[in-house]
Structure 1
Amino acid sequence: MHTVIRTSHLPEADRFEYWTESVSRVLMPVNLYTRDPARFRGSMHLLDLGPVQISRMTCSSVHTRRTDKHIRRSDPEVILNLTRLRRGWQFAGECLLPVAVAVPLVADLFCAPGWDALDLAAVMVGSLALVAWRRAPLVPLLVTTACMLVHVLHAPAGLSAALPVLVSVFAAARAGHQLLAALAGVVFLGAGPAMSPAAVSSHPGHEFVESTGLLLGWFIAAGLIGVVIRLRQPCLRKAEQDSIDAERAREEGARWRADHERLRIARELHHSLTQNISVIKVQAGVAVHLARKRGEEVPAALLAIQEASGDAMRELGATQHVLHDPR
């Protein structure tokens, strides 16, 4: 079936609104905006082939906005699939993070002398605990801090041993547990790789101070990044809500302008009809009066016109009262 939608046959004030309603009805729900609605022109050819619909659209310049509300209204399965896909990617990222942290730690462990199964177990448990960094950030904070302390105090460890604790400190600060994150950082630095006997013996003098300062800077940066992200999230939610409110206000404004325009057209049409019918009524009344004055029989059609015009005038008067009623 071939369908053609055009705006050329409509008044200029109604063309863009008709086009927006047509696009939302036959294609997809969407908000359209244009700089000059009065000069808008558009035509659309639709060819329905059953499961496939082919459309060719030609129109003036428009700005299109399709929100989640439109997608939920037209394609709820798309939102459901996107939500599942996002959760799947999020879960995959949460699983890959412990692997990415464990690989360099295990590599450093194999290169270091004097390690045993306890160090390997501490590294693996401390890394795998990061799976819960988003859902329960306090759990990996406690587990990684304890496991990595066991590792660095039991065997020589490099600065990479602080990586799981850094991630857990960031996650705890991001979740709003800044005090606990700072406490875990202080505890780890107080007995961690920079303060262990192996680190002191292998980094004498200024190298020991540099490694300690480097770790301190990393922990401060991780905590600050987590706090900044936490403070930024309400701003993003507020900006999103402001955008939704602004869009709702634009839609309400568009509806108000459309209603106002319809009312204006109705009033103009009412005035025009009232004037024309009043002329018909006056002319019919004059004709009836002249016929009776000359003693002629008044035609029934003329009397019907006089009566109908009078009824129409009364109905238009009631309509005028409704159109001009501010309530």
Structure 2
Amino acid sequence: MTTLGTGVLRVRHWLRAHPLALDGALALGVLVAMVFASFVDPGGHDGPTFGARTPAASSLLLMLLSSLALIRRRREPMAVLAATGALTVVELVTADPPAPVVMSAVIALYTVAARTDRPTTWRVGLLTMAALTAAAMLFGSPPWYSQENLGVFAWTGMAAAAGDAVRSRRAFVGAIRERAERAERTREEEARRRVAEERLRIARDLHDVVAHHIALVNVQAGVAAHVMDKRPDQAKQALAHVREASRSALNELRATVGLLRQSGDPEAPTEPAPGLAVLGQLVESVRQAGLPVEVACAAEGEPPLPSAVDLAAYRVIQEALTNV
């Protein structure tokens, strides 16, 4: 059963990849069905009887032409419907009893309904149903209300309805697929936007951390070099400040880069992000570099700021002191 199912699936994929071959197979099947049905007499005393009648040569030619027209049904559905409809009318007018050439027109009408819009299906379907049913009732098997003549009306109506249903289902599935693809693109764009924003934030943090502490290290190193010979005690103090500033830079750099670690990497530092609560340490480090700094706080006892605002305020002051 598995091998059979795999074989059927392969054949289906091959036919979808080669629609002309599928239409050719369909045309051959319709031709065989029409020829077989042309030997059946539906009006027998004991029901339909095979071999009770023989189609004329003209009927065989019309059946062959109408089935060949179906090969082009995907590329030119309207033209194929017009051709098969005309051949059906010719068969109804000239043959007695007529062969079932109308089967090809039914397939062509289904194709038109499945590949066009609903208004076109209504117009073309009603026109085809009216023309073929009128021809069958006027020139087909007597009496005009026979089951063969009414069958033309029923089969053309069913073909139009089935084609419209298939077209609606294809449109519905296509809309669902389009919405799913659009939602997937939206999620990807949102993810890329968030990644870009996070990269920009981390870049700003790295700039603030590195620029501030490197500026302090540069100042203290210059002081140490200037007073190394005359005042070694002050030079040692400046070098101690250099060591402290570099240690602080490494700690903050480690904390910032730790956000980029994956789940399986070693744990990132757990210290909170800097804020106004540690502003005194920032000011003290600048004072040790020789820059006099005064802090004036206008609002005492206010509720704490949100973490993002608190960090932004700290970075603004840090950047300003670094620039000075």
Which TM-score band applies after superposition, normalised by the shorter structure? 0.5 to 0.7
Contact 2:141-2:148 within 8 A present in 1 as well: no
Choose from 102, 106, 109 the match for 2:31: 102
Q: CA deviation at 1:298?
A: 7.5
- CA offsets per residue over residues 81-126 of structure 1, 9 Å max, x none? xxx9677521111111111111011112243525321111111111
Choose from 140, 154, 172 the match for 2:80: 140
Residue in structure 2 matched with residue 247 of structure 1 by the alignment: 184
Q: Which amino acid aligns with 1:167?
A: I
Instruction: Note the residue ranges of structure 2 that are not aligned, 5 or more in a row.
Output: 1-12, 40-50, 247-285, 287-314, 320-324
Partner Cα distance (2:15, 2:59) in 1:
36
C-alpha spacing 1:296/1:191, structure 2 compared with 1 (3 Å): closer
Q: Secondary structure at the match of 2:194?
A: helix
Q: Secondary structure at the match of 2:133?
A: helix
Q: Which amino acid aligns with 1:183?
A: L
Contact 1:119-1:155 within 8 A present in 2 as well: no
Q: Which amino acid aligns with 2:37?
A: D
Contact 2:59-2:98 within 8 A present in 1 as well: no
- CA offsets per residue over residues 148-196 of structure 1, 9 Å max, x none? 23334413247x543111112222333354323322221111122x664
C-alpha spacing 1:295/1:196, structure 2 compared with 1 (3 Å): closer
The residue correspondences of 1:256-275 to structure 2 (distance < 5 A) are 256-275=193-212
Partner Cα distance (1:95, 1:169) in 2:
17
Q: Secondary structure at the match of 1:253?
A: helix
Q: Which amino acid aligns with 2:135?
A: A
After TM superposition, the structure 1 stretch with the greater mean CA deviation from structure 2, 93-102 or 286-295, is 286-295
The residue correspondences of 1:119-268 to structure 2 (distance < 5 A) are 119-153=59-93, 154-157=95-98, 160-173=100-113, 174-176=115-117, 177-178=120-121, 179-192=123-136, 196=139, 198-200=141-143, 208=146, 211-231=148-168, 234-268=171-205
Contact 2:38-2:55 within 8 A present in 1 as well: yes
Q: Secondary structure at the match of 1:200?
A: coil
Sequence identity percentage: 29
C-alpha spacing 1:199/1:97, structure 2 compared with 1 (3 Å): farther
Instruction: Note the residue ranges of structure 1 that are not aligned, 5 or more in a row.
Output: 1-83, 322-327
C-alpha spacing 1:147/1:263, structure 2 compared with 1 (3 Å): same
Q: CA deviation at 1:233?
A: 5.0
Partner Cα distance (2:218, 2:235) in 1:
15
Give the TM-score normalised by the residue count of structure 2. 0.54
Q: Secondary structure at the match of 2:71?
A: helix
C-alpha spacing 1:281/1:105, structure 2 compared with 1 (3 Å): same
When the two structures are aligned, how many residues end up with a matched partner? Answer: 221
Which structure has the highest strand share of the two? 1
RMSD of aligned residue pairs (Cα, Å) = 4.3
